[in-house]
Amino acid sequence: MRLQFHRTLYAGTAIDAALGRFAHLANTRFDRSETPEYFVVEVSASSPARSRAVAHELANFALGLTIEQGGPDR
């Protein structure tokens, strides 16, 4: 599942921190890339349902960290 985090809404450091916390998950791959507007994370797990669940949790985690630090990186 592909997640797109808008650069003006999410902190790149928060996304990296979230990826760090999720890196231990077995049989799950996270491919990070960037476009001029977005941080992009492709989540691949053992099944589409699991990819979806992990992606949603990752997005929540990244959003929580972004808000706790007061918004995108300056």
Partner 1 sequence: MSESLLGMPPGRVDADVGDASVTLTVDATVYPLPAVYAAAYCFIARCYVLLDRGDGDTLRVVLTGKQPMDAAALRALVGEFGNELLASAWRREITRQNRGLIESVTMQAFGGAMGPPSLDDLEAFDFTDEPFDDPLGIAQSWEEKYRKPKPAGDPEAP
Binding residues (CB under 8 A) for partner 1: these are 3-4, 6, 8-10, 37, 56-57, 59-60, 63-64, 66-67, 71
d(CA 45, CA 62): 19
d(CA 30, CA 12): 15
In the complex, what is the shortest distance from the CB of residue 32 to partner 1, in angstroms, rounded to a whole number?
17
In the complex, what is the shortest distance from the CB of residue 68 to partner 1, in angstroms, rounded to a whole number?
8
In the complex, what is the shortest distance from the CB of residue 10 to partner 1, in angstroms, rounded to a whole number?
7
**Encoding tokens for residue 56?**
């949603």
